[in-house]
Structure 1
């Protein structure tokens, strides 16, 4: 029973926050990122895995899923399903332009002792005050805010859905995320609570880890304006991730961990 509880807690943590130090990576993978035609659809997979874009660990929890249409309005995802190793959903692209698909996960964790016994708790931030017993000692609190995204364009790219919300860690594309070409430089800006995430470390990993000996990751650092650039070494799907820990939690005496993950497609020249 203890092993089962420990596994469940680990699975939940992985699904919420993809820290750079973890071997497991969370991701959304659209079946296509650039589409045309009169009746375009896209299917999106979500998973937690060791090897990027390979289903072998856990499905991504889609409780915090939302889809924005090119005009910024919410679109209902269809055919949502959860399998043993992946989750999936469909989106009908009824409007021309760029769609933003995201899974937002927030939560709080606590570890403490009661009468010398170690205790753990996980739930919503506004529940934590009532959840911790008054006689608890060695209390350690943390708040999580994770954002996992993918961008898909039908026809001509648009920018309405690329605007930041000002909450948590976000990427604001300077180069449109559906206009990336191998051998060309792309520029992005990282924001934390609407302000430039200066000095933030970003990891970029091409897919296909399972079929090569080296990770071939690219590590860059955002400048004072939160901006960074990357020249794509080749075509394919790329995973981009950044995370930060600070004291700007909504919970008193808690540390906040914010993360951002996106999958982008780089097309051949």
Structure 2
């Protein structure tokens, strides 16, 4: 695979709605529910075809060891700054990753959990994505609205511009679950849990709500896939759609790690030069046995 195509595939996987891509971006914690007086977790972060299997690219994250000063990657026109990893403690304070490393197929880091309660690990992206025809070839660009005018030809042939936002989250609880980190930001597509994301059990139904810019997001398509699909003939996907209040119920068929993805495409709330908006959300969730 040529470098240009490689970087384009990775940039698309991380920055666009994820179910539309061949590759999925994810973070996988070593545990989501812990006890004890001095707990730690190790987190893997990758982009892959098969869930929770390392075979494609590491997920590049600013703030984990040798990526602290990493430059933007990719070919001209597709370069995006390395997204920052946010690690939020139960009291709302920011933590730092430890022992971070960028490998060939995955990034890894450790996180010390000094407080009792629920932590949130998050990565968020937003910006514009454009495509057009030039000399018979498809050209692609992604970046900020400020750089759009100087980077994209004003009279580009068959120009299509979308306003994109994505958010990836993991929740981890030490001791009893708490609610502080579940508060949403009011930006993009977000999960507003009704059932706590660290209180999921096989055979039970979890109730979730999704918000777009802080308001109920109706008609959001939800996809839930159990990990380990590399070793199954069937994907095992659970599909659902949010109701008028942005709510949806997911019944977990068995214990294990799951990848949840939600996406919405709309022409409402779009700012020029974009003509459509795409928002996506993903989370890695652990379902425990009864």
Residue in 2 that maps onto 1:194: 214
Q: In the alignment, which residue of structure 2 is the partner of 1:246?
A: 266
The equivalent of 2:27 in structure 1 is 28
Write out the 4+ residue segments of structure 1 that deviate beyond 4 Å after TM superposition: 113-118
TM-score normalised by length of structure 2: 0.86
Q: Distance in 2 between matches of 1:64 and 1:84?
A: 19
Q: Mean alpha-carbon deviation: is it higher for 156-165 or for 6-15?
A: 6-15
> Which residue in 1 is equivalent to 2:89?
69
Matched, 1:147 2:167: yes
Note the alpha carbon deviations across 1:77-135, whole angstroms, 9 max, x for none.
Answer: 22222111111122111111000001112232222356777543222232112222345
Residue 275 (structure 2) pairs with residue 257 (structure 1): no
The answer to whether the Cα contact below 8 Å between 1:15 and 1:61 also exists between their aligned partners in 2 is no
Q: Is the 8 A contact 1:78 1:89 kept in 2?
A: yes
When the two structures are aligned, how many residues end up with a matched partner?
Answer: 268
Q: Aligned in 2, Cα 1:92/1:134: closer, same or farther, shift over 3 Å?
A: same
Q: Which residue of 1 aligns with 2:152?
A: 132
Q: Distance in 2 between matches of 1:117 and 1:236?
A: 44
Number of the residue aligned with 1:59: 58
Asked if the contact 1:18/1:25 (under 8 Å) is kept, the reply is no
How far, CA to CA, are the matches of 2:158 and 2:113 in structure 1?
Answer: 51
**Which residue pairs with 2:194 in the alignment?**
174
* RMSD, aligned CA: 1.8
Is 1:39 matched up with 2:38? yes
Cα distance change on mapping 1:115 and 1:181 into 2, 3 Å = closer
**What's the CA shift string for 1:167-199, capped at 9, x where partnerless?**
111111111111111111111101111111112
- Secondary structure (helix, strand or coil) at the match of 1:149 reads strand
| C-alpha distance in structure 1 between counterparts of 2:16 and 2:108, whole Å | 19
TM-score, normalized by length of structure 1?
Answer: 0.93
Q: Are the equivalent residues in 2 in contact too, given 1:47–1:86 (CA < 8 A)?
A: yes
* Match of residue 205 from structure 2: 185
Is the Cα contact below 8 Å between 1:201 and 1:242 reproduced in 2? Answer: yes
1:125 and 1:143 in contact (8 A); partners too: no
Once the two structures are superposed, the pairs formed by residues 91-240 of structure 1 within 5 Å of their partners are 91-113=111-133, 119-240=139-260
- Give the secondary structure class of the aligned counterpart of 2:20: coil
Where does structure 2 lack aligned partners over 5 or more consecutive residues? 62-82
Q: Does 1:13 align with 2:34?
A: no
Q: Secondary structure at the match of 2:54?
A: coil
User: Which whole-Å CA distance do the structure 1 matches of 2:140 and 2:197 have between them?
Assistant: 40
Report the Cα distance in structure 2 between the residues aligned to 1:118 and 1:157, rounded to whole angstroms.
Answer: 49
Q: 1:83 to 1:250 in 2, by over 3 A?
A: farther
